[in-house]
Amino acid sequence: MKRNSTSGLIIDRRELMAGAAAVGLSFGLRPAFADEAPKKGGTLKLGMEGGSASDSLDPRTYADSIPISYGWQIWNGLVEIDANGDAVGELAENFEAKPGATTWIFNIRKGISFTSGKKLDAEDVIYSLNLHRGETKSGAKDLLSNIADIKKLDTHQIEFTLKSGDAGFPTVFADYHILIVPTGFTDFSKPDGTGAYALESFEPGVRVITKNKGNYWKPNRGNFDSVELRYIPDAAARTQALISGQIDAANRLDAKTVSLVMKAPTVDVVRSKGTGNRFAFVAHCDADPYTNNDIRLALKYGIDRQKIVDAVYKGFATIGNDTTVAPSMKYFAKDVPQRPYDPDKAAFHFKKAGMANATMELQVSEGAFSGATDAAVLYQEAMKKAGIDLQVKRVSGDGYWDNVWLKVPFCAVYWGGRPTCDNQLSQTFLSSANWNDTNWKRPEFDKILTAARAELDEAKRTQMYSDAQKMIVDDGGMVCFAIGDYLDGYGKKVKGTAPHPHYDMCDQRIAEKGWFA
C-alpha cells in the first residue's frame, strides 16, 4: 500500500518525508512538535491587532491575524509549516506523490476526535476541502484550483488528482482557511474542531475565549488551561498592556517604539527577520509610460531602499529586490544581484526611454500599509536626485482595495508571505493571476513556473525559480523595496516562543505551542 518514491532521482529529506516507508517512519513529526518539557496550566492572554467587530467563525471569511489565531486554536489543518519552512503532516499523517507529481495519496491520522466526539476520517477531510472549492466565497479557492479530483480510497486515505504536476502540493493545505470540520458541518457559530481548545465565548471586536479540552492528540502542545484573545487595535494601547502585564503576548509591535519595549524588564521581543509583509509600488506594464522597460528600470534604480528601511521601518525590515520572494524563503534567487540605488543609471534609463514629458503619478495611502506615504515621499526625493519628477498623490484609505489597487497605473501595495515560492509567484506574476497588479504577462514566465512545479530534481528546480525571479527583476513592473520584520512581544513567563518563517506569533499558534514557566 505505501510505496517509496520510485523516480530513481536523488532522494532528499523532502522525498523521505513525502514517501514514508511501510515501517511507519514519520520524519515530519519530531522536529515540529518536540520541545523542552512544557508545563501545563494558566490562562494565556493575547492582545492582538488584525480583526474587527465584523469577524466571523467561518474560515472561508478569514483574512487577518485574529481569526487565523482563533481558527488554529479550535481546528487543525491537514498540514502545518515547521520551523524550517517545510510542510509537515498535521491531521495528515503522511503524504506521497506518484511520479510526475499529479497524483498524491494522503493518509489521515487515526484516533483523533472532534469536540463533539466524532472520530476524524477521510469523509470529514473531503467535505472540509470542498467548502473551499467550486462555488465558494473562500479566499482559498485559487489555491485549490489545481485539484481536478478528490477520491476517497479508504476510511483514512485520500487520493488527489491534479490538473498539472506540483511537487510542493501538500503546502497548499497549510493555508489558514483550510480547517478540517466534521462532514456535513454548517453552523460555524457552534464550532466543532480537533484543535487543542474549544470555543467558550465569542465577542468579535472585543475578545474570544477558548478552553482546553484536555487530551490534545499532539504531544507537548495545548498547554494552557484557557486562552483569552483580546482585540487591541491601537498599537500604543497594546504595548502598554503588555508592559504593565495585563496581557501576556502582543503582536505587531510598532517599529518606532520597539527599541523602548526591548528595554522593559518584563518583556521579551521576538523578531522574525524579513518574513513579514512585502511592501511595494506596482506599475501597470500596459499603461504609458510604464510600457517601456527603461522607464521601469529607471523606477527601480531611482529608489533608495536602505533609506526607507531606516527611516520608515527603523531598520526592522530587509531590503527587497523587486519580487515578492523574500531572502528567507527556499528558492530565493541568491545569484540575482540586489539592485542598488543608482541615480545616474536611473537618469540614463529615463533618458533612453525618450519619454521625458511623461507624467508619473504614484498613488499612496495609509490604507495600503502604514508608512506608505512616508516611503513614497522618500522615493520622490531619491528620484529628484536622478532628475526625474515623480508625483505622489495621497488618497483615502477607505475603499483603497476597491478603487485604487489593480485599477490605478502606479500605486502602493503590500503582499503577505506565502509558504512556498510557487504560491508567492503564482498569485502575483502569472499571466492568469487575478491579482497580477502589474499586468505583466509573459508566456515564458508562465511556462517556467508550471514546469518548476512538477520538477522533482532539486538543482533544476532551484535554477528554474532563479530564472523566473530574474525575469521579474529585469522586466517586471514591481518595485518591492522592503520586507518587514515581524515584531512580537511576550511577557517573560511565556515560553516556547521563537521566530517562524511563516507567520508571526509562532505561526499564529502560540496558544498551541507555548507554555508558562
Partner 1 sequence: MGRLIATRAGLGLLTLLAVSVLIFVCTQILPGDVASAVLGQQATPDALRVFRAELGLDKPAYLRYFSWLFGVFHGDFGRSLTNQRDILSELGPRFANTLFLAAYAAMIAVPLAVGLGILSAIREGRLTDRIANVLTLVAISVPEVFVGYILIIIFAIDLGWFPSLATVFPGMGLGERLYVATLPALTLTMVVTAHMLRMTRNSVLSIMSTPYIEMAFLKGLSRSRVVSRHALPNAAGPIISVVALNLAYLVVGVVVVENVFVYPGVGQYMVDAVSKRDVPVVQACGLVFAAVFVCLNTFADIMAILVNPRLRRRR
Q: Which residues bind partner 1 (CB under 8 A)?
A: 47, 52-58, 61, 63-64, 135-139, 141-142, 189, 203-207, 230-234, 236-237, 240-241, 243-244, 246-247, 398-399, 401-403, 416, 434-435
Whichever of 54 and 357 has its CB closer to partner 1, that residue is 54
* Minimum gap (Å) between residue 240 Cβ and partner 1: 5
CB 468 within 8 A of CB 449: yes
Interatomic CA distance for residues 167 and 161, integer angstroms: 13
* Minimum gap (Å) between residue 496 Cβ and partner 1: 25
Please compute, for residue 85, the number of CA atoms within 13 A of its CA located in the half-sphere on the CB side.
17
Whichever of 10 and 206 has its CB closer to partner 1, that residue is 206
**106: β partners:** 95, 158
Burial class from Cβ neighbours inside 10 Å (0-12, 13-18, 19+) for residue 424 reads buried
Interatomic CA distance for residues 145 and 134, integer angstroms: 9
Alpha carbon separation from 398 to 340, 395, 401, 402 (Å, rounded): 34, 9, 8, 9
What would the DSSP string read from start to end of 37-84?
-PPP--EEEEEE-S--TT--S-GGG--SHHHHHHHHHH---SEEE-TT
Alpha carbon separation from 315 to 259, 318, 342, 365 (Å, rounded): 11, 8, 21, 22
Give the H or E element holding residue 124: helix 122-130
* Minimum gap (Å) between residue 258 Cβ and partner 1: 16
Whichever of 31 and 416 has its CB closer to partner 1, that residue is 416
Whichever of 103 and 424 has its CB closer to partner 1, that residue is 424
* Minimum gap (Å) between residue 367 Cβ and partner 1: 10
* Minimum gap (Å) between residue 255 Cβ and partner 1: 18
Whichever of 34 and 206 has its CB closer to partner 1, that residue is 206
* Minimum gap (Å) between residue 81 Cβ and partner 1: 19
Site of grid cell 510542493: 168
* Minimum gap (Å) between residue 138 Cβ and partner 1: 7
Whichever of 204 and 327 has its CB closer to partner 1, that residue is 204
Please list, in sequence order, all residues whose beta carbon lies within 8 angstroms of the beta carbon of residue 8, skipping any fewer than 6 positions away: none
**Residue 472 CA to its chain's centroid (Å):** 20
* Minimum gap (Å) between residue 426 Cβ and partner 1: 14
Whichever of 148 and 498 has its CB closer to partner 1, that residue is 148
Interatomic CA distance for residues 91 and 109, integer angstroms: 6
Using alpha carbons, select from 62, 83, 97 the residue that is nearest to residue 188: 62
Whichever of 106 and 281 has its CB closer to partner 1, that residue is 281
Angle at 94 between CA 145 and CA 120, to 5 degrees: 80
* Minimum gap (Å) between residue 64 Cβ and partner 1: 8
Whichever of 63 and 356 has its CB closer to partner 1, that residue is 63
Whichever of 241 and 303 has its CB closer to partner 1, that residue is 241
* Minimum gap (Å) between residue 458 Cβ and partner 1: 32
CB 437 within 8 A of CB 406: yes
Q: Phi, psi (5° rounding) for residue 129? A: -70, -40
